[in-house]
Structure 1
Amino acid sequence: MFRTFALVFGGLCYLLSSAVLAYYLCWLGGFLVPKTIDSGAAAMPGGTALAAALLVNALLVALFFIPHSILARPRFKAWWTGIVPAPIERSVYLLHCALAMAAMMAGWQALPAPLWQLGHPLAEALLWGGFAFGWIFMLGGAFSIDHLELMGLKQVAYNFLGAPLPPQPFSTRWFYRVVRHPIALGHLLVVWCHPQMSLGHAFYAALATAYVLYATYRLEEPDLDQAFGENYAAYRRRVPGLVPLLRPRR
């Protein structure tokens, strides 16, 4: 009974998280969705209303980013799987991320005052190109490693079949030959590359950038060092972290 439940639950969490991620990218880009980062009732450009909007937005971002990092840490997962069965641990993680991201987008306070608005076709094309490359790096990074394991489907499938989950190998293929963190690089491109940058968009991009840098270098890389040892250390010496073609620091 649990095997069937886990399989269905994992599949639903995968579909929900994929749909929310697609909405998130359109929310940032400002197209195809009813509510974007700059739509809705705008806060006044000064005074307490602006401060309140910034505070609300910062709390919404923290609601997503802070648990997103805590739930992914090996020590937390070792404790958490004593409560949540291991086959659905990743699916529960995806469910939380999807709900937190949806809440952030729904509650976001629009601050549409423009910081820059490019009118030159070439400049607009370059920024939209960067936005598209962000999509490519995010999706390509996810599929360069074991996408099914990353999204929790492999865990519930092996559990349904009654087979042990094989260990996750150390992989440096495709996008991971360019940078060590292609998903993080793609996220940075997506949040910053837009020809019409508003105050609210820039505020979110700044918070997202601070989170990406901290989570990547202070949380994820130490975990990878511990998990893969010298294999990851050698990989880190030859492949840059976030900036392609930038020689890694020894």
Structure 2
Amino acid sequence: MSKFIGFLYGLTAYLIFFVTFLYAIGFVEGMIVPKAIDTGPVVPVAEALIVNLLLMSLFAVQHSVMARRQFKDWWTLFVPKPVERSTYVLFASLALAFLFWQWRPMPTVVWQVANPGIANAIIGLSFIGWLLVLVSTFLINHFELFGLHQVANHLTGRDVPAMRFKTPMLYNFVRHPIYLGFIIAFWAAPTMTVGHLLFAAVTTAYIFVGIFLEEHDLTELFGDDYRNYKRRVSMIIPWRKSI
């Protein structure tokens, strides 16, 4: 029964993540969702800036701290190991949902593309970024990344396979295609407001901090395999020399 409850918990966490991911697309693109990045009551600029920075900082701290090995070693003293990843995904989704809910729009336009054809092309590029994010997760095991694989294995009594170093398809051209997809999705905007620019700039800065932390962990885990991979493949820009 505890295994089944763990599976239901992991499934619920995954579904919450997936809904949050879909909402994120609408939030950034300003489409369909009831509250987007440029909609809602407008407050004084200073208030909006402080609140939005705090919201992004909350997500960044949660997302980074809970992903560190030292935190996981402590956290799994209280949270069963099979649902540890699901709990991380759930907390990250809730932090992101809170950001969407409390975000203060800053609607002053920084730039705007007037030509409809070019504007639609930029929107299309942004959606290519979102697609790149999703495809890249499946290349490295989407369901393991978001905790569902672990609770399913626990339910059926199978051991979780040991992590092995692999570089499927896109990962042979850039080390972090998921982050590249987010950068494209956030910056490819035909209408860029101050609020959207703030969101794109801060999240991009956080992405590079996240890469530094993640690569430190991956080097510890895979040793020379990952060091050689870093020398061979560029971090974020496919056509640049590896850095």
Question: TM above 0.5, one fold?
Answer: yes
Normalising by structure 2, what TM-score? 0.97
Deviation at 1:154, TM superposition (A): 1.1
Partner of residue 179, structure 2: 184
Please show how residues 131-142 of structure 1 align to structure 2 within 5 Å.
Answer: 131-142=126-137
Normalising by structure 1, what TM-score? 0.94
SS, match of residue 116 in structure 1: strand
Q: Of residues 122, 128, 131 in structure 2, which corresponds to 1:127?
A: 122
Deviation at 1:122, TM superposition (A): 4.3
Residue identity opposite 1:166 in structure 2: P
The answer on 1:197 being equivalent to 2:192 is: yes
Partner of residue 210, structure 2: 215
Please show how residues 106-185 of structure 1 align to structure 2 within 5 Å.
Answer: 106-185=101-180
Residue identity opposite 2:4 in structure 1: T
Deviation at 1:137, TM superposition (A): 1.4
Partner of residue 236, structure 2: 242
SS, match of residue 236 in structure 2: coil
Distance 2:211 2:72 in 1: 18
Residue identity opposite 1:224 in structure 2: L
Partner of residue 46, structure 1: none
Distance 1:178 1:129 in 2: 22
- Percent identity at matched positions? 39
Residue identity opposite 1:21 in structure 2: F
Q: Structure 1 runs of 4+ off > 6 angstroms?
A: none
SS, match of residue 243 in structure 1: coil
Deviations 1:153-196 (A, max 9, x none): 11111111122211122120022122100111111111111100
Distance 2:173 2:101 in 1: 35
Deviation at 1:141, TM superposition (A): 1.2
Distance 2:125 2:192 in 1: 14
Distance 1:126 1:227 in 2: 41
Tell whether the 8 Å contact from 1:14 to 1:153 is kept in structure 2 after alignment.
yes
Tell whether the 8 Å contact from 1:137 to 1:175 is kept in structure 2 after alignment.
no
Residue identity opposite 2:12 in structure 1: L
The answer on 1:227 being equivalent to 2:207 is: no
CA RMSD of aligned residues (A): 1.1
Tell whether the 8 Å contact from 1:238 to 1:248 is kept in structure 2 after alignment.
yes
Partner of residue 35, structure 1: 35
Structure 1 unaligned runs (5+)? Answer: 44-48
Tell whether the 8 Å contact from 1:179 to 1:241 is kept in structure 2 after alignment.
yes
